[in-house]
Amino acid sequence: MNKPIIFIASPFQTNSGASVRELKVIPFLAQHIKQDFDSDIYLHVPFSQFTFMFKQLSESIGSERAEDEIFRKITQSASILKSSGVLVDLREWERLAHHASRLARSEHDSFIFQALDQRVLSFGHFRMIFREHRDRQMFQEYSNLASLRLERPLVYSCHESADLICMMNQFVQKFRGSAAILLGLAPYEYVSLRFRDPFKSISSILIEDHTKRLYERSMGRRSLKLILSVSAAPLLESGLYRTAIRNRVQVRILRPSTAYDSSLVKYRNDDKSANQAVFFGRLTPQKGLYDLLGVWKLVNSMVPDSVLKIIGAFQSPNHKTLFDRKTKELGVRNLEFIGFLSEKSELYKEVSKARVLVYPSYNDAFPAVVLESLALGLAVVAYDIPAIAQSYRGLEPIFLTSRGDIRGMAELVSKVLNLPDSKFALLHQSELLKSFIKIHGSWEEVARSEYHALAPLLGGDSLPSEVEPPR
């Protein structure tokens, strides 16, 4: 009997890079698995992912439209996944989405939740544990998987977050299966790295400790067989590489691990505005939201007519309030806030007008915004975090400065803006860059690399003994 596989994921078209990746990759991955193993392919979306999606959409389009938009997105995803052989119950998703939207509204409007979020340092940790308990409860109540008897399935968590790993461990225990995990970010930070992060709270550290215990529990039970990663960064920043090897868990870095949409190329505009820069992505402190203001204030003093366009949605009302306050305090000029663009065509048209992406991110693994910017013909100025320094090593349009070096970043941005058009064009002429962009231009190739890593766990063959250490 062929071994079934359970994907744990949230494959919906949202402003989450992980969710978009899952929606792009899982259909191709399922087709390979069906063709070679004829396995039953199940998909479980933890309840907490529906509440996250509702909150994200509420921030960008308002709570009144968010529920209708969720139903549109899950219907679209169900159709794509079913056509690829994935067993999806749309009615189950609809019930969970409706319940999640009611719950998210009540929490958002609750004075008690707001007060606890602001005043109790460890509340986020307790809230996460409660979410995991609620995910398990909702699984028993709503999921068809709860009533099935599967024989030793492969349980594949397509994301590193604690709520997915918690459900992965439950499935492994329930069905006596084996497990694999894909890391899109470091699930927690190696202890020695924690205190360099200016945004890390006590609650965040408690959450990381809890997440680390979930990983260690899975490895300790010998159920976790494989850890995949989109780059070396999550393995290095968490210390998971050494822990995995010590517990005889195989480790693989996917190549390619992500891609840009092929439709993006038609929006590339080589006649770029020499004074325009852009930032696009999630508007959070971890992405350098407040550093961006300090950088742009300095750039304005060096290149007075320069303009920075900011595209994206704030992940918290508190982030927006602090951003607006800091903008006024610093007296930052020539800043154009565009907001969240749900249509990719509009996003790519806007980004392609700029000459440089300003990207002071502190936390990434293989940032898609950098890849998309390169494909659109932009230069990129960023901090030298492992995710960028290693994943984009040697590419001429990539300019790096030390983590947190606001002045260094401003000087590099100014340098790019001041380049003559002919010299700027030469940045994109190298064969290394052209090859890099070509390799990362197909989601099917990404799925194929993932499939080759997972296939031995489905076919019963042992994984190759060699392991590529992250650099």
- The first and second tokens of residue 135, run together, are 């995910």
Is-contact 360 286, C-beta < 8 A? no
Indicate the DSSP class of residue 463: P
β-pairing verdict for 276-280 and 307-311:
parallel
Per-residue pLDDT at 109: 43
- DSSP-assigned letters across all residues of 36-66: HH---EEEE--HHHHHHHHHHHHHHH-HHHH
Strand partners, 253: 229
Per-residue pLDDT at 200: 54
Helical (H) or strand (E) element with 429: none
Q: Which of 413, 355, 353, 415 is nearest to 382 (CA)?
A: 413
Strand partners, 335: 308
Per-residue pLDDT at 110: 44
Per-residue pLDDT at 461: 52
CA distance 106 to 103: 5
φ and ψ of 403, to 5 deg: -55, 125
Per-residue pLDDT at 193: 46
CA distance 30 to 156: 12
Per-residue pLDDT at 369: 95
Helical (H) or strand (E) element with 228: strand 224-229
Which amino acid is located at 451 in the chain?
Answer: Y
Q: Please give the model's pTM, rounded to 2 decimal places.
A: 0.88
- The first and second tokens of residue 361, run together, are 């991110």
**Tens-of-pLDDT digits for all 471 residues of the chain?**
589 999 999 999 887 888 999 999 999 999 999 999 999 999 999 998 988 888 878 776 777 788 888 999 999 999 999 999 999 999 999 999 888 888 776 654 444 444 444 444 444 556 667 777 788 888 888 888 888 999 999 999 999 998 899 999 999 999 999 999 999 999 988 654 444 455 556 667 777 888 888 898 889 889 999 999 999 999 988 999 999 999 999 999 999 999 998 889 899 988 787 799 999 998 999 899 999 999 999 999 999 999 999 999 887 788 899 999 999 999 999 999 999 887 889 999 999 999 999 999 998 989 999 999 999 999 999 999 989 998 999 999 999 999 999 999 999 999 999 999 999 999 999 999 999 999 999 999 999 999 999 999 998 554 543 345 555
Which of helix, strand or coil describes residue 291?
A: helix
CA distance 378 to 381: 10
Per-residue pLDDT at 54: 85
For the chain, which domains are there? 5-259+442-459 (3.40.50), 262-439 (3.40.50.2000)
